[in-house]
């Protein structure tokens, strides 16, 4: 009985050592009311509004500067494909002048100077 209890205790303590790795890339909780997806060790938060689409980027929980980034938003809704550029909007924010309707599928491509592009997919 003592051996079994000791094993359970050791396994429980060992599992706690993995706790920090759960948040290795930062907290995945939306900070701007959007949908969060982690891709290539970055946190991408896509936010829809009635006038535009915003993308917020974080790396290891810290805002990732958008000034050297470029991107494209592709929206597929009701059989119609629309593409528009994502533009840096200060700090870790990028914006596109496009409204994402319910039921749409979204493809984001974000690229930093000198690096390959990262593709992120969303469905609404």
Q: Can you give the residue ranges of every domain in the chain?
A: 24-123
Residue 102: pLDDT band (50, 70, 90) is: very high
Task: Express each pLDDT in 23-32 by its tens digit.
Answer: 455 677 877 8
Task: Express each pLDDT in 64-101 by its tens digit.
Answer: 999 999 999 999 999 999 999 999 998 999 999 999 99
Domain 24-123 classified CATH 1.20.1740? no
Query: What 3 state SS string does the chain have?
Result: CHHHHHHHHHHHHHHHCCHHHHCCCCCCCCCCCCEEEEECCEEEEEEECCCCEEEEEEECCEECCCCCEEEEEEEEECCEEEEEEEEECCCCEEEECCCCCCCCEEEEEEEECCCCCEEEEEEC
State residue 34's pLDDT score: 93
């Amino acid at each position: 009985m003592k051996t079994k209890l000791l094993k359970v205790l050791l396994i429980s303590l060992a599992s706690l050592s993995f706790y920090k790795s759960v948040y290795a890339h930062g907290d995945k909780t939306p900070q701007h009311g959007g949908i969060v997806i982690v891709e290539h060790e970055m946190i991408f938060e896509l936010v829809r509004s009635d006038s535009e689409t915003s993308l917020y980027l974080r790396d290891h929980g810290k805002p990732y500067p958008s000034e050297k980034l470029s991107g494209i938003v592709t929206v597929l809704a009701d059989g119609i494909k629309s593409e528009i550029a994502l533009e840096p909007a200060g700090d870790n924010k990028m914006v596109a002048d496009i409204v994402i309707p319910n039921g749409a599928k979204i493809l984001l491509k974000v690229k930093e100077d000198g690096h390959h592009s990262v593709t992120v997919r969303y469905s609404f």
